A = this chain, B = another copy of it.
Amino acid sequence: MILINNQKYTTLLTELRYNCCMLKRTLAIQKALSESGYRITQPRRAVIEVILRARRSLSPEEVLARARKIDPSVSLATVYRTLDVLHEQGHLNRVRIGKKGYALVCSERELHFHLVCKRCRSVVELQPDRFSKALMTQLHNLGFAWQQNAIEIIGLCAKCNPAG
């Protein structure tokens, strides 16, 4: 076993793991879209990758800026169009935070919770657990067909919460 006791390497490794995980998710969403009859284009690929890779919720303008680093031709219209597609397919939610603006939270997995901080816009994912399973059962029994992979809970994270 190799032990590297170095902050730099640890950070790099964490980053690598994160990117790898998000790449998988990006591909999963692309596959899902493709199977629903949507074409997987360069701009869409870029937008999806940007939203998934982000550790916090981005505004459409921010998504555009980051997506252009991958594909400089992407337009704002396409960002909005892709957001619509993702939302329609249940991969993305838009929830209002504060007086202005929304949180965009994207996910390819089954029903689970996202904790969105309205101050720093960070997004923490609650692992799908017994609660979400029980909730799914309850919804199912009511005949309610939910159309979102994630449920957003808005508030202040531990860091941004003055009282905590």
Contact = CB atoms under 8 A, between A and B. Distances in A.
Interface of A: 84, 87-88, 93-96, 98-99, 102, 113, 115, 117-118, 124, 126, 131, 134-135, 138-139, 142-148, 151-158, 161, 163-164
A81 to B, nearest CB: 10
A109 B153 CA distance: 16
Contacts of A98: 88
A158 B142 CA distance: 7
Contacts of A164: 143, 145
A151 B153 contact: yes
B126 A138 contact: yes
Nearest to A140: B164
A114 to B, nearest CB: 11
